[in-house]
Structure formats: C-alpha cells, structure tokens
Amino acid sequence: MEQQETNQTTSQAFDRLKCPACNSMNIETLHVGKHTGRTIGTVVGGAAGVTGMFSGAEVGAGIGAFAGPVGIAAGGLMGALFGGLVGAAAGRTIGENFGEVADDHLLDNCHCLKCDHTFRE
C-alpha cells in the first residue's frame, strides 16, 4: 500500500510543470489572455447590448402598454436594461473563450516564482 502511494506521488511530481530556466516546480499560471478577453468581451458585449437596447425598449414598452404610460416607461427601461445585461454576459463568455485560446497557443502563460522567468506550457 505504501509503495503504491509513493509511486503515485512520484508520478504526480513528474506531471507538474517545471521552469525551463531553473527547473523549479514553483510555477503560477497567469491567464492574461483570459482576463483581458473577459474584460474586452464584457465592454463590447455591453455596448452591443446598449445599441440593441432600443429594440429591447420597444419590446418592453409594447409589453408594458397594457398598464398605461407608466407601464410603457417601466417596460421600456426594463427592456433596455435587460438588453445591456444579456449583451455584456454574452460578450464576457465569448471574450473569455477567445482569451483561453490565446493563453494556450500564443502567450507565455506560466511564471516561475523562483527565477521570474515566463514561458509557455
């Protein structure tokens, strides 16, 4: 039983990343592309949602029309708000996915905490 645990621990150690400069296993993953893509996607998606808010406001106003002028105003506001939120959420997801691809294939996404070297997996 103890031999099995030792073999498993040893194999896990070989599976971990090592710094190509100093062979340290004290590595952090940066996720720069993911964070940047998420931020840009949220802003762009929110902007797209806001430009589409006029459609959302129109639909919301139509739904709120049965309640009179207050319903039209409230429905229009809620439709616009919903359009902006949905756009921002969709943009965030898409931007995050693009950022992950950039992290995996383009960026030096690993950082050695011992020698400060950055490298790609």
Chain segment 53-98, per-residue pLDDT in tens: 666 666 666 776 777 777 777 777 777 788 888 889 999 999 999 9
Mean pLDDT, rounded, for 107-116:
91
Chain segment 24-46, per-residue pLDDT in tens: 999 998 999 999 999 999 999 98
Between CA 17 and CA 36 the distance in angstroms is 24
Q: What contacts 107, CB < 8 A, 6 or more positions away?
A: 30, 32, 33, 120
State residue 99's pLDDT score: 92
pTM over 0.75: no
State residue 92's pLDDT score: 93
Q: Which helix (H) or strand (E) holds 7?
A: helix 2-15
Q: What contacts 67, CB < 8 A, 6 or more positions away?
A: 74, 75
* Beta strands at 118-119 and 110-112: parallel, antiparallel or unpaired: antiparallel
Q: Which residue has the higher pLDDT, 64 or 101?
A: 101
DSSP string, 27-61: EEE--HHHHHHHHHHHHHHHHHHHHTHHHHHHHHH
Q: Quick check: 115 pLDDT over 90?
A: yes
Hey, what's the torsion of the CAs at 43, 46, 47, 49, to 10 degrees? 160
Q: Quick check: 4 pLDDT over 80?
A: no
Between CA 89 and CA 113 the distance in angstroms is 34
Between CA 92 and CA 102 the distance in angstroms is 15
pLDDT grade for 1, boundaries at 50, 70 and 90: very low
Degrees to nearest 5, angle at CA 119 with 116 and 120: 155
